[in-house]
Amino acid sequence: MLFLRKRLELMQAIALLVACTFSSACAAWHTTSLEPQRFSADTSPELVRLTLSNGTRLTARHPVIVGDSLVWSHSGEPRGDSARSADRVSNIRQVEVHGVDAGATIGLLTLVGGLVALFVVLQGLAGNAGC
């Protein structure tokens, strides 16, 4: 019985590790509108992916709308660094923000929880059969 208990604890630890690891995989890029209130100095997302009208895709850190342009730091540069870029809002075709996909996260956690519950039930049946 001690062997089954140790095995159960190991499987629960592995399931918890898998759930924690894969829950971060449930994040995705979501298209958002380019509105001044969303891209102000106070409310700007940390990281966005931009698609320009010529098809160029780039990642921008801390974008802020200033006048008719979007100003940002280059990805990988610390905030406040002088290496900044800008483009007119009219030249930006699409803006995507990285966020959590709640449905996928709940589905994954439910699946992992179900597998753990199934393992517990199977271990209980195996323990009762051995008595």
Let me know if residue 117 belongs to a domain.
Answer: no
The token duo for 99 is 């966020």
DSSP string for 5-57: HHHHHHHHHHHHHHHHHHHGGGEEEEEE---TTTTSTTT--SEEEEEETTS-E
Let me know if residue 86 belongs to a domain.
Answer: yes
pLDDT at 86: 92
Provide the whole-model pTM. Answer: 0.58
Weakest mean pLDDT among 5-9, 69-73, 94-98, 120-124: 5-9
Q: How many domains does the chain have?
A: 1
Let me know if residue 101 belongs to a domain.
Answer: yes
* Domain CATH code at residue 51: 2.30.30
Q: What is the pLDDT of residues 33-88, one digit of tens each?
A: 988 888 988 888 988 999 999 999 999 999 999 999 999 987 554 555 558 899 99
